Structures are given as C-alpha cells and as structure tokens.
Structure 1
C-alpha cells in the first residue's frame, strides 16, 4: 500500500505544485488562456486556491516522508478532493460540463490518496 500511496501522492503533488504555482505567480491575463474561470473569480481567491493546492501537495508528501504528523496526509488529500468539488461546481455553473473530466480524475485520485494514506496512521 505504501508504494501505491507514493505513486498517487507523487503524481498529485507534481500536478498541484504546477497548477497551484501558476495560480500564485501568474497574472490574470497569463492564466486566462488555460483557466477561463479566472475572469469570474476575484484574483485574491485564485491566489488562495493556488496556495491551498501547493500546501496540499506538501501535505501529501512531507508528513509520510518525515514520519511527523502523518495524519496530515489524509487531511491534505481530503482538502485537495474538496478543491476539485469546488472546481466541478464552477465549471458546471459556467456551462463547461465537458471539461470536468480532469476535475473528476483528480477528485478520484485524491480520494484514493486519502484512503491509501490511512495506512500511515
């Protein structure tokens, strides 16, 4: 189970560090081509989502790696799953139901990570 966790957690961490980092560091104009929803969400909220994604990625990797507060890995995975639920809501409200496949895949992966992380407890 530990190997499965590390595979899922590493993939999620890479994705969220990249996506969250973009939300943290890029301007609204730079984000718009890839994330059209940034026009409807205030930039402080976009930045907060980015920060939560980066922190969630760290929460997936650092606690099990260090052996300190390993329960935080479960919390991080659940938090990332909740971010995807919010993403699905935003996309559906914008009439973009065809683009929620990535959100659903990330939601499932985060759920799997949360379940696999219980092995650390």
Structure 2
C-alpha cells in the first residue's frame, strides 16, 4: 500500500507540475486559445493558480522524500482536493464536462492520498 500511495502522489505531483508550469509560463493568449475559462480570468489569477499547483507538486512528494515534515503530504493532498472542487465548479460553468470528470478523478486520487497518509499508512519512524 505504501508503494501505491507513493505512485498516486507522484502522478498527482507530475500532473500538478505540468499544469502549474503551463499556467505560469505560457502567455495568456495561448492559454485563451486552448480553453475558455482563462478568457474571463485575469493574468494574475491564472499565474497564482499555476504557482499553487507547482507548490502542490512539491508538497505531495518532497516532505516525505526528504523526511522533513512528512505530514505535509496529506495536508497538501487535502489542499489539492479544494483546488479540484474549484476546478469542477469552473468547468461546469463553461460546460466542459470532460474537464469536470478529470477534476473529479484527481479529487478522488488526492482523497486517497489524504486518507492513506493520515489514517491507513502514515509516515512514521
């Protein structure tokens, strides 16, 4: 189960890093061309979401890998759940139901990591 939790957290971290870097480093015009929701969002808001996702990528893996405050892994996963709820609300408003389903799947994965690292198999010495 420990390996499964690491894999799920690692996959979430990889996706968060990619998604966050896209929001931080791509020009807003390119983001607007690829998705509708960014057209009505400010550049600062999009960049902030991107940085939150990059921080989530770090928080899902580094605390446990470096053995520095590993309790931050489930805390970060819980924060990711909140981000996915926001994503589901936003994508529902724009009728992007495939993205809503993706957010729901990512929410479930983050809930699994949160539960796994808090209750089932926490990082203990």
Structure 1-normalised TM-score?
Answer: 0.93
> Partners of 2:38 and 2:4 in 1: how far apart?
34
Q: Which runs of 5+ in 1 are unaligned?
A: none
For 1:5-84, what aligned pairs fall within 5 Å after superposition?
5-84=5-84
Determine helix, strand or coil for the equivalent of 1:120: coil
1:112 pairs with 2:112: yes
1:12-67 deviations in whole A, cap 9, x for unaligned? 01101000000010111111233321111111011111100110110010111111
Determine helix, strand or coil for the equivalent of 1:68: coil
Give the stretch that moved more between structures: 55-64 or 98-107.
Answer: 98-107
Structure 2-normalised TM-score?
Answer: 0.90
- Counting matched residue pairs gives 121
Give runs of ≥4 in structure 1 deviating > 4 Å: none
Instruction: Tell me if the contact between 1:4 and 1:116 (Cα under 8 Å) persists in the aligned partners.
Output: no
RMSD, aligned α-carbons: 1.3
Determine helix, strand or coil for the equivalent of 2:34: coil
Q: Shift of residue 96 of structure 1?
A: 2.6
Q: Which runs of 5+ in 2 are unaligned?
A: none
Evaluate the alpha carbon distance shift between residue 11 and residue 31 of structure 1 in structure 2; reply closer, same or farther with a 3 A threshold: same
Q: Shift of residue 117 of structure 1?
A: 1.9
The residue number in structure 2 matching 1:86 is 86
